[in-house]
């Protein structure tokens, strides 16, 4: 999933961001509400994780604004506030779930998995095309009797291809989809990543499913591999 994580304490933001990345998610981790407002207006997210107490614009305000804009992806609120009134306030603002600090990372990841299934951009725990399956919870690709473990970035790229089959995806599109906001991948990062993914897919006999469309980008085309 693509997740917006907003937490103003770097000591809490960094381990949460790392855990979500390790789980295979694409995370925009930021520390202030104003930047979050701008990102929400520019991008679609599968999930928002918002700290209630943020400088300038609170997480509660962000949640209200998000719902008022008609956005429906789940929102998980993080806060030290733990009274029933606080929980009701959070839920009434449009949050789907509520987690009291200090945050237990194992519980957070479980909540993220549960909320991810509610996202309108999420399509279940397995993506399929023909006889190839990508298991979103385990970061593995399966075909026939063979299962291959992918790295987080390889998984993200294959997921992106599977969500846009038969479409030509430019290098710029892939960079914007896979790299976090503010990141500057090296000039050959996409080429290198595609090569690595092809090497993984070769283990399940599907390396040629990813076509290079010269001068444009790449395309996932299983039918083309059968020609």
3-state secondary structure of 44: coil
203 pLDDT more than 90: yes
At residue 178, the pLDDT reads 85
49-99 tens-digit pLDDT: 999 888 888 889 999 999 999 888 899 999 887 777 877 888 888 889 988
| Residue 47 phi, psi dihedral angles, 5° rounding | -160, 140
Higher pLDDT, 161 or 121: 161
227 pLDDT more than 50: no
41 pLDDT more than 90: no
**Which residue matches tokens 């976090």?**
180
Q: Are 148 and 203 in contact (CB under 8 A)?
A: yes
Q: How far is CA 77 from CA 53, 81, 132, in A?
A: 10, 10, 36
DSSP 85-150: HHHHHHHHTT-SEEEESSPPHHHHHHHHHHHHTT-TT---SEEEETTEEEETTTTEEEETTEEEE-
At residue 179, the pLDDT reads 82
Q: Are 157 and 198 in contact (CB under 8 A)?
A: no
At residue 224, the pLDDT reads 65
125-176 tens-digit pLDDT: 788 888 999 988 788 999 989 999 999 889 989 988 988 889 999 998 888 8
Q: 187-197 burial by CB neighbour count: b if 16+ within 10 A, else e?
A: eebbeebbeeb
At residue 124, the pLDDT reads 64
14 pLDDT more than 70: yes
Cβ-Cβ contacts under 8 Å for 161 (sequence gap 6 or more): 169, 210, 218, 220
pLDDT band at residue 113 under the 50/70/90 scheme: confident
Per-residue pLDDT averaged across 185-204, rounded? 92
- Bond preceding residue 102 cis, omega within 30 of 0: yes
Other CB atoms within 10 A of residue 181 CB: 16
Tokens at 171, concatenated: 């290098």
105-116 vs 10-22: helix crossing angle, rounded to 10: 60
Q: Torsion-angle region of residue 219: left (phi > 0), alpha (psi -120 to 50) or beta?
A: beta
34 pLDDT more than 70: yes
pLDDT band at residue 22 under the 50/70/90 scheme: confident
Q: Would strands 2-6 and 47-51 be described as parallel, antiparallel, or unpaired?
A: parallel
114 pLDDT more than 50: yes
Of all residues in the chain, what percent are helix, strand and coil, respectively (each to 5)?
40, 20, 35
pLDDT band at residue 122 under the 50/70/90 scheme: low
């Amino acid at each position: 999933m693509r997740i917006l994580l907003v937490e103003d304490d770097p000591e809490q933001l960094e381990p949460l961001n790392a855990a979500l990345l390790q789980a295979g998610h694409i995370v925009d981790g930021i520390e202030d509400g104003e930047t979050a407002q701008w990102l929400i207006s520019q991008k679609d997210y599968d999930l928002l994780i918002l700290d209630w107490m943020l400088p300038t614009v609170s997480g509660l305000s962000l949640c209200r604004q998000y719902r008022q804009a008609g956005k429906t992806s789940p929102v998980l609120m993080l806060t030290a506030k733990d009274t029933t009134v606080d929980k009701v306030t959070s839920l009434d603002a449009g949050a789907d779930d509520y987690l009291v600090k200090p945050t237990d990372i194992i519980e957070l990841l479980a909540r993220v998995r549960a909320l991810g299934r509610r996202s309108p951009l999420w399509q279940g725990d397995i993506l399929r095309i023909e006889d190839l399956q990508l298991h979103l919870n385990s970061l593995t690709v399966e075909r026939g009797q063979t299962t291959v473990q992918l790295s987080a970035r390889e998984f993200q790229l294959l997921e992106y291809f599977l969500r846009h089959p038969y479409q030509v995806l430019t290098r710029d599109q892939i960079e914007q989809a896979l790299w976090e906001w503010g990141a500057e991948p090296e000039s050959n990062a996409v080429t290198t990543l595609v090569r690595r993914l092809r090497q993984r897919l070769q283990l399940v006999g599907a390396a040629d499913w990813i076509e290079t469309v010269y001068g444009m980008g790449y395309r996932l085309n299983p039918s083309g591999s059968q020609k």
